[in-house]
Amino acid sequence: MTILSGKVAIVTGASSGIGRAIAERLAEDGALVVVNYHHSEDKARQVVAGIQAKGGKAVAVQADMSQVAAARRLITDTAAQFGRLDILVNNAGKFLPKPFLDTTEADFDALMNLHAKGPYFAMQEAARVLKDQGRIVNISTAGTQLHYYGASAYLGSRGALEQFTQEIAQELAPRGITVNTVSPGFTDTGVLTEQYREMGITQSPFKRIGLPGDIAEVVAFLVTEQARWLTGQTIQAGGGIVM
C-alpha cells in the first residue's frame, strides 16, 4: 500500500508545469487525483491518461479558479463524487510581470482573483469537507522575497496568499489540518524567458533553475502524516535563491 492510498486530492492548474508534476507525484503515492484545468482540456486528459497508464487514479475537471462559484463547485463536486476530500493544492496561477504605471485595473483584478480570491474561497469550501488531518498546500513564488522590478500586482497577489496561509492554518489546526505555502524559484515550466532563466541560474548556488519535479517532491512530503508538525509555513523551494 502506498502512502496516500484511499485519499482524494485536488490539484488546481494541473494540466502542465508544476501542477502536472504535483498531480503525477501524488497519484504515484496512491491518491486519487482531480486534475483541474481552465482552458487546456486536451493537456489535462493527457495527464490523466499518463497517470492511469501507470496504474494510478485521476480525473480531469474543468473550473476557472479565478471565479469563486467555480472554485467552490470544484470542491463540493469532488467531495460528493468521491465521498471525501483529503488534500487541496492551490497551484493555478499566471506569471504576469508588468510595471506599476502600466498595470490596469483589469490586470490587477485578474491576478488577485486567480492568486488570492479564488484560492481563499476554495480553502473555505474545502475546510467544510476536508477530513481531519487533511492537508492544504498553496503554491506561491520566491519573488515575494526577491522583490524584483516590474511585478507589483503579481507579487502582491502571491503575497496575499502567503498571508492567508498563516491565518487559516491557525483556525484549522484544532482539526489537525495543516496549511502551508511552497514558494518555487525560477522553474523550467516552458514559459520562462531567457532573461529570467539566466537570472535563476545566476542566483541559485546550485547554478541551475528548478524542475517541476523538484517542487512536486516538496509538496508530496507536506501532504503526508510525517509533515503533521509543519503548518503556517512558507517553504522556499527555489534552490537557495532565498535563504
Question: Which sequence positions are flagged as catalytic?
Answer: 154
SS3 233: coil
Residues 6+ apart with CB under 8 A from 144: 155, 158, 159, 162, 183
Cβ atoms of residues 71 and 122 within 8 Å:
yes
Residue 69: all three cell numbers together: 462559484
Q: How does 126-154 read in b/e, with b if 16+ C-beta sit within 10 Å?
A: bbebbbeebbbbbbbbbbbbbeeeebbbb
Neighbours of 74 (CB within 10 A): 24
Among the listed residues 169, 193, 187, 170, the one whose alpha carbon sits nearest the alpha carbon of residue 179: 169
Pairing of strands 234-237, 85-90: unpaired
